[in-house]
Amino acid sequence: MSIPERPTVLYIDDEEDNLLVFKSAFRRDFKVLTTTSHTEALEMIKQEEVPVIVTDQRMPVCTGVEFFQQIPSDINNVRIILTGFSDIEVIIKAINNCNIYRYLTKPWDQAEMKRTLDLAVEKYYLQKHNVQLLTDLQVANEQLEEKVRLRTSELQQEKEKSEHLLLNILPDEIAEELKQHGKVKPRRFDHVSILFLDFVEFTKIAERMPAETLIEELDHYFRTIDDIFSKHGVEKIKTIGDAYLAVSGLPVSAEEHALKMVGAAVEILEFIDTEKERRTAAGGTAFDARIGIHSGSVIAGVVGNTKFAFDIWGDDVNIAARLESNGEKGRVNVSEATYQLTKDRYRYEHRGKVNAKYKGEIEMYFLER
């Protein structure tokens, strides 16, 4: 708290001699302003900061109490009244209403007046300091609230971004379980259909393409395949290089899991055929794909602590992979199990038993389109 070396004191009295005496007594310690007029006094306190006002109670136009009542509420100062004994009761009643700091009886004692003025100045600047502290505190609080609001908004955006990312790599139900419990319990699904897709001669094509172009091409194909699977209610599990693994019938069971998967496979091959025609006509390079589908059971779960991956395991997953590798480009190769679940809706070419690596002979069927 900083107090000026000579704080300003305004003294009001209708007798010039009293003004001269007051100014002479305190001019070394205070910047003393004097006037015989309450009207002039009001103008003075509006024009500059006046910490302390001393006024005689008995004045020609209005009393000291009435003068203090005229001071605008936004102007702060410490108020002292000089009064005779006959006015004391009036002054006491007015102290609370007019915010009068103290009254002194006339004639005033110089030492007592000096102590009173010193205390009044200290009170004024202490109040001013407290007001500034409250203002600073309010500003700081508002700034803190704004920072909290912004940080809360940032955290919410980060949370939404994380949840969106989680939903991109995990099925909705699995992502929700992970958010709720921090882990996902592995489950067995007995009625699912598994699909493997592989781009034929991808390595040879990749050798002739710039890396950036190759990635753009794969991204175009995989994005479209993602959309097709989503349309048919099929869950993408992962891509492995140029291969694609998907499953139908989990995490939400679906009676028509095989029909959904075969329907998606048909649409994927139609898309690949259309792309091949368009790109070949333009003199570009196009991809062919093999698709294998098998229906059976899998174990599904989430692996990893920071980089989560939803995956499926089981012998039937391996069988689906063998169906793909023993198929032909541009065709869908299905197992006996998938054939039995979809034969009433789709037509197939029976291939008979085909020897599959590590799996022996497997009954296989080509889907007729």
Q: HEC string of 193-222?
A: EEEEEEECCHHHHHHHCCHHHHHHHHHHHH
Note the pLDDT tens digit of each residue in 311-339. 889 999 999 999 999 999 999 999 999 99
Alpha-carbon span 33 to 44, nearest angstrom: 9
What is the pLDDT, as a whole number, of residue 96?
A: 65
What is the pLDDT, as a whole number, of residue 55?
A: 94
Residues of the chain with pLDDT under 70: 1, 85-88, 90-91, 93-97, 159-184, 303-308
What is the pLDDT, as a whole number, of residue 175?
A: 58
CA 232 to chain centre: 34
Reduce the DSSP state of residue 180 to 3 states and report it: helix
CATH number of 185-367: 3.30.70.1230
Instruction: Give Cα separations from 322 to 202, 227, 317 (angstroms).
Output: 18, 25, 9
Q: How is residue 45 written in tokens?
A: 């306190």
Bond before 107 cis per omega within 30 degrees = yes
Note the pLDDT tens digit of each residue in 160-173. 665 655 555 566 56
What is the pLDDT, as a whole number, of residue 284?
A: 74
Class of domain 8-132: alpha beta
Beta bridge pairs of residue 261: none
Bond before 7 cis per omega within 30 degrees = no
What is the pLDDT, as a whole number, of residue 45?
A: 94
Number of helices (H) and strands (E) in the chain: give both, helices first. Answer: 11, 13
Instruction: Give Cα separations from 294 to 65, 195, 213, 339 (angstroms).
Output: 101, 7, 33, 9
List the chain domain ranges. 8-132, 185-367
Instruction: Give Cα separations from 132 to 46, 73, 126, 140 (angstroms).
Output: 20, 18, 10, 12
The number of CA neighbours under 13 Å toward the Cβ of 356 is 22
What is the pLDDT, as a whole number, of residue 166?
A: 55
Q: What pTM was computed for the model?
A: 0.58
Strand arrangement, sheet containing 100-105: 31-35, 8-12, 52-56, 78-83, 100-105
